[in-house]
């Protein structure tokens, strides 16, 4: 139970991230710039973990290096950039809806890479949790349905196909991050080492995506403070809780617990911004809680 609680708590702090991140984007700051500054700060914060592991660098196996490339380069950098860019090609409701299928990727990879047993009963309850997650996104489903009826060509255009590919990269990247993060934990890396390696590799991979011009200078001095607060809450604290939970759970169970992130994002918007949840969203949250608890209790 402790592992699931830690991941769910991490999802709560990730949900609070939206209160700062989206206003920064809406004010014209490029998402890649925000993510770049996040990684710089996180590398600084966890540099102690890097220094402590310098002696172990020579002992790294190719599989370990590949795992860090996946969680840092693919997960922290490429998947984030792909997800952000997908909004330029697809309706935001469709992007958010498609992202709900990320746990499926993580569960499949956990079976292939980690050889985790996927029981029939687990799949049933995972499916129930997925239904709960989709109900949480019921407004997005309605908006997508309206889009299909009003402008079907837009959903099947070349630009849309490009957007689907970008969403696919983000789903694969974030799903793989869960599995390869668990692999690093299985071979003896602690939370600080995994986080330090993740953010360092992520920072290195992000460099080609950054526009090295005046856009790197944030409009207001307070924006640097906002990013710092965001990094402390959703970067350092939430990621530490997440990896502490991952240490205690299987990758497939962690993937289910991660589904609480969009639910908490909506709850945070309700509490702070007055955007109320509808009955379907509340039902979805209840189904997700029940399904996740049963998966944890049954220890699938």
Residue with tokens 């809806």: 97
Of 19-23, 111-115, 118-122, least confident by mean pLDDT is 19-23
Which band of pLDDT confidence, cut at 50, 70 and 90, is reported for residue 1? Answer: low
Question: Number of folded domains in the chain?
Answer: 1
With CA atoms as reference, report the closest residue to 260 among 274, 276, 273, 241.
241
Please compute the mean of the pLDDT values over residues 259-286 and round it to a whole number. Answer: 82
Alpha-carbon dihedral sign for residues 244, 181, 11, 72: positive
Q: What is the pLDDT of residue 61?
A: 85
Please compute the mean of the pLDDT values over residues 157-184 and round it to a whole number. Answer: 90
Which one has a higher pLDDT value, 210 or 57? 210
Which band of pLDDT confidence, cut at 50, 70 and 90, is reported for residue 242? Answer: very high
Distances (CA, A) of 160 to 66, 118, 165, 228: 31, 34, 9, 35
With CA atoms as reference, report the closest residue to 75 among 66, 88, 62.
66
Please compute the mean of the pLDDT values over residues 210-239 and round it to a whole number. Answer: 87
Which band of pLDDT confidence, cut at 50, 70 and 90, is reported for residue 51? Answer: low
Of 51-60, 159-168, 227-236, 240-249, least confident by mean pLDDT is 51-60
Please compute the mean of the pLDDT values over residues 9-28 and round it to a whole number. Answer: 84
Q: What is the pLDDT of residue 287?
A: 92
With CA atoms as reference, report the closest residue to 259 among 43, 8, 13, 84.
8
Which band of pLDDT confidence, cut at 50, 70 and 90, is reported for residue 99? Answer: confident
d(CA 87, CA 271): 26
Which one has a higher pLDDT value, 115 or 158? 115
- Show the domain range for 164: 2-298
Which one has a higher pLDDT value, 218 or 201? 201
| DSSP output for the chain | -HHHHHHHHHHHHHHHHHHHHHHHHHTT--HHHHHHHHHHHHHHHTHHHHHHTGGGGGG--HHHHHHHIIIIIIIIIIHHHHHHHHTTTS-HHHHHHHHTTHHHHHHHHHHHHS-----HHHHHHHHHHHHHHHHHTHHHHHHHHHHHHH-HHHHHSHHHHHHHHHHHHHHHHHHHHHHHHHHHHHTT--HHHHHHHHHHHHHHHHGGGS--SGGGS-SSHHHHHHHHHHIIIIIIIHHHHHHHHHHHS-HHHHHHHTTHHHHHHHHHHHHHH-----HHHHHHHHHHHHHHHHHHHHT-
Mean pLDDT of the chain: 85
Whether residue 269 has pLDDT greater than 90? no
């Amino acid at each position: 139970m402790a592992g699931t609680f830690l991941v769910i708590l991490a999802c709560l702090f990730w949900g609070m991230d939206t209160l700062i991140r989206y206003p920064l984007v809406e004010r014209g700051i490029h998402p890649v710039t925000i993510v770049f500054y996040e990684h710089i700060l996180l590398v600084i914060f966890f540099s102690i973990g890097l220094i402590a592991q310098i002696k172990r660098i020579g002992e790294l196996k190719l599989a370990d290096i590949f795992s860090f490339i996946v969680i840092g380069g693919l997960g922290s950098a490429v998947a984030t950039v792909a997800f952000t860019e997908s909004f330029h090609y697809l309706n935001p409701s469709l992007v958010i809806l498609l992202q709900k299928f990320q746990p499926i990727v993580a569960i499949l990879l956990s079976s292939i890479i980690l050889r985790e047993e996927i029981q029939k009963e687990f799949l049933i309850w995972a499916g129930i949790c997925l239904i709960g997650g989709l109900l949480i996104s019921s407004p997005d489903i309605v908006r997508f349905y309206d889009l299909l009826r009003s402008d079907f060509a837009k959903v099947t255009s070349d630009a849309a196909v490009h957007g689907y590919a970008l969403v696919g990269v983000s789903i694969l990247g974030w799903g793989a991050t869960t599995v390869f993060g668990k692999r690093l934990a299985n071979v003896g890396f602690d939370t600080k080492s995994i986080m330090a390696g993740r953010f360092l590799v992520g920072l290195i991979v992000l460099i080609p995506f950054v526009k090295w011009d005046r856009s790197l200078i944030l409009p207001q001095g307070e924006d640097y403070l906002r990013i710092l607060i965001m990094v402390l809450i959703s970067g350092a604290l939430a990621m530490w809780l997440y990896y502490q939970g991952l240490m205690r759970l299987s990758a497939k169970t962690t993937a289910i617990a991660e589904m609480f992130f969009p639910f908490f994002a909506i709850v945070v918007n309700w509490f702070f911004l007055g955007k109320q949840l509808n009955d379907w969203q509340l039902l979805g949250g209840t189904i997700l809680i029940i399904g996740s608890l049963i998966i944890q209790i049954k220890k699938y």
